[in-house]
């Protein structure tokens, strides 16, 4: 027989003033205050007290208190601290949650499928560009990007004072399939390059971005981030990833990071720490006016050029009048780069101006840099560093390619140097043993030294004797000349240092060879030396 009706189970209900003592487990609904109570039962039944217990609802008098937040300190309830003047300072749960904001609060999904372009842009605009709040520092909250792949189809624009935080490279990924950079900077009125700063708008500045991957998946190769008319940008533990594959040709639009400036509003003070740059034809491409850029402890891999500096600077076009200056690369690693790792390019029309003060210091350049993706000994080998303008320096860099050439005994005709152009290269100190009673043994080779100057500071210790000196070498197509100036303590240490050009069969190469000859004393000598090359 089917059930056609169920009777309602009725508990007590009425106004708050009419609420009686409820039986054990009996419910009482207070209609006028929208509150719910349950009877305790008797003490004989085990209740701690006779009475009614209120069940917390949105109408309960204790509801607001239950949702208040009080900071307890690191010991929590065990030994809470006092946050106010004599009493705890309370904040609502809403206030506490609003201390930080997730991009998901604006509708972003990060599921590797949904188009999150509008949601991300809405979050950026509301936090940092909203006309009513853009000058109120309280609106400039940290915007969190929880782990996920956030698909976008056009560039997101980043306003001044933006602070974007993800959960780490390859965890938080903003992925652009459009034919444009993943992100560009804008002013606080939403104006992009060409209009930035119009009508008194605040320029892009004080932007901090950390733990995010900026990924371009466009097949033709487009940029990671374009820094436009911006100053004081800080990137920490970010990744810039494109679609470039090892062995590919140069694509001028494929840039991991680039800048755009005007003469009136140049870029300046931009810092990259612990970042990764990979799979763009040009990992870094700066031609516009920009000063004070730092790359510290970063990784550069898989590209045609590592850093291309000053290629289109012409000395006259708006924003391209002085080019990049004061660019420093410190403690970075470079690998799988077909051409130069750092290329300071200079045209004949801009001689005497342009890119200057580029410093490479303490970097590691792998054997896969500067050989057209063909390995050690490629006939299309190029310099690892090329400085075509002055005031550029390489200091204490490590070049795996040249060390491998020396250690495997290969003999390359006119091998490309580590550094070519205009600049100073200071190498790290090395120490070797000079074997007793040896004639014409090789200490080191310096490829493509023709037209360059070489200075070698050294110290030789042999038993109780020592020598401190400096070897000055001038190399040209006419041959090699050198001068060895030194001071010895006591007697002659019995070591003769010589410099000559390397031969390969019947051919004389432009590689300079440092050699030694020792007398027979029964004791080896130790040579510590440090080389400076003036390119």
pLDDT at 62: 64
Both tokens of 507, joined, read: 């051919």
Residue in 482, 518, 511 with CA at minimum distance from that of residue 499: 482
CA distance 132 to 413: 68
CA distance 510 to 475: 8
Q: Which of 65, 95, 125 is the last residue of a domain?
A: 95
| Domain with 460 in it | 430-534
Residue in 289, 300, 275, 317 with CA at minimum distance from that of residue 360: 300
Query: Integer distance in angstroms from the first to the last C-alpha of the chain?
Result: 103
The answer to the question of residue 347 being in a domain is no
How many folded domains does the chain comprise?
Answer: 2
Q: The domain that contains 443 carries what CATH number?
A: 2.60.40.1680
The answer to the question of residue 126 being in a domain is no
Secondary structure of residue 195 in the 3-state scheme? coil
CA distance 444 to 447: 10
The answer to the question of residue 522 being in a domain is yes
Q: Write down the residue that tokens 């208040």 correspond to.
A: 68
* pLDDT by residue, tens only, the chain of 535 residues: 465 655 666 688 899 899 999 989 899 999 998 889 999 988 888 888 999 988 887 777 666 666 788 888 888 888 888 888 888 888 888 888 888 899 999 999 999 999 999 999 999 999 999 777 778 888 888 999 999 999 999 999 999 999 999 999 999 999 999 999 999 999 999 999 999 999 999 999 999 999 999 999 998 768 999 999 999 999 999 999 999 999 999 999 999 999 999 999 999 999 999 999 999 999 999 999 999 999 999 999 999 999 999 999 998 999 999 999 999 999 999 999 999 999 999 865 655 577 889 999 999 999 999 999 988 777 778 999 999 988 899 999 999 987 665 444 454 545 788 888 888 899 989 999 999 999 999 999 888 777 788 999 999 999 999 999 999 998 877 788 999 999 998 889 999 999 998 877 666 777 889 999 999 999 999 999 999 998 8
The answer to the question of residue 348 being in a domain is no
Model's pTM, two decimal places?
Answer: 0.83
Q: Which of 74, 95, 116 is the last residue of a domain?
A: 95
Residue 483 phi/psi, 5-degree rounding, is -140, 125
| Strand intervals (E) in 477-523 | 479-489, 495-504, 507-518
The answer to the question of residue 79 being in a domain is yes
pLDDT at 313: 92
The answer to the question of residue 43 being in a domain is yes
pLDDT at 496: 96
CA distance 185 to 160: 8
pLDDT at 83: 84
* Contact indicator for 52, 29 with CB cutoff of 8 Å: no
Residues in the chain, total: 535
The answer to the question of residue 66 being in a domain is yes
Count of beta carbons in the 10 Å neighbourhood of residue 182: 28
pLDDT at 406: 47
Q: Which of 76, 95, 114 is the last residue of a domain?
A: 95
The answer to the question of residue 461 being in a domain is yes
Q: Which helix (H) or strand (E) holds 474?
A: strand 465-476
């Amino acid at each position: 027989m089917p059930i056609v009706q169920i009777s309602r189970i009725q508990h007590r209900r009425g106004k708050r003033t009419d609420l009686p003592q409820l039986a054990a487990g009996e419910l009482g609904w207070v209609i006028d205050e929208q509150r719910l109570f349950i009877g305790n039962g008797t003490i004989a039944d085990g209740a701690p007290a006779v009475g009614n217990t209120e069940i917390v609802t949105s109408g309960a008098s204790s509801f607001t208190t239950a949702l208040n937040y009080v900071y307890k300190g690191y010991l929590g309830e065990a030994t809470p601290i006092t946050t106010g003047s004599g009493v705890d300072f309370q904040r609502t749960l809403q206030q506490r949650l609003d201390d930080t904001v997730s991009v998901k609060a604006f509708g972003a999904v990060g599921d590797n499928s949904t188009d999150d372009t509008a949601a991300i842009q809405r979050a950026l605009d509301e936090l940092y560009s909203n006309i009513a709040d853009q000058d109120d520092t309280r609106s400039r909250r940290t915007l969190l990007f929880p782990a996920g792949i956030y698909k976008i189809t056009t560039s997101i624009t980043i306003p001044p004072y933006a602070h974007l935080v993800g959960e780490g490279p390859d965890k938080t990924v903003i992925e652009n399939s459009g034919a444009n950079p993943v992100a560009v900077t804008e002013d606080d009125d939403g104006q992009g390059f060409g209009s930035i700063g119009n009508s008194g708008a605040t320029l892009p500045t004080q932007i901090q971005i950390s733990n995010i991957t900026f990924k371009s998946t466009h097949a033709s190769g487009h940029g990671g981030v374009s820094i436009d008319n911006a100053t004081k940008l800080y990137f920490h533990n970010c990744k810039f990833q494109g679609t470039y594959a090892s062995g590919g040709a140069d694509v001028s639009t494929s840039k991991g990071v680039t800048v755009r400036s005007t003469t009136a509003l140049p870029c300046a003070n931009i810092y990259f720490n612990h970042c990764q740059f990979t799979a763009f034809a040009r990992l870094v491409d700066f031609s516009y006016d920009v000063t004070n850029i730092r790359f510290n402890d970063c990784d550069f891999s898989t590209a045609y050029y590592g850093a291309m500096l000053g290629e289109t600077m012409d000395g006259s076009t708006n924003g391209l009048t002085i080019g990049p200056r004061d660019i420093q690369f410190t403690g970075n690693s470079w690998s799988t780069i077909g051409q130069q790792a750092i290329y300071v390019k200079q045209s004949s029309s801009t001689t005497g101006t342009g890119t200057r003060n580029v410093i490479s210091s303490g970097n590691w350049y792998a054997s896969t840099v500067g050989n057209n993706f063909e390995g050690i000994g490629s006939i299309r080998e190029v310099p690892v560093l090329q400085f075509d303008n002055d005031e550029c320096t390489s200091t204490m860099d490590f070049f795996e390619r040249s060390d491998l050439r020396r250690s495997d005994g290969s003999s390359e005709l006119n091998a490309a140097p580590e550094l070519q152009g205009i600049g100073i290269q200071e190498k790290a100190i090395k120490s070797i043993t000079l074997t007793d009673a040896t004639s014409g043994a090789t200490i080191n080779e310096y490829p493509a030294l023709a037209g360059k100057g070489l200075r070698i500071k050294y110290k030789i210790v042999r038993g109780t004797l020592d020598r401190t000196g400096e070897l000055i070498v001038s190399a040209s197509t006419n041959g090699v000349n050198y001068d060895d100036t030194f001071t010895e303590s006591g007697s002659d240490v019995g070591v003769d240092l010589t410099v000559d050009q390397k031969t390969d069969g019947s051919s004389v190469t432009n590689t300079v060879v440092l050699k030694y000859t020792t007398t027979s004393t029964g004791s080896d000598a130790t040579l510590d030396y440090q080389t400076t090359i003036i390119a």
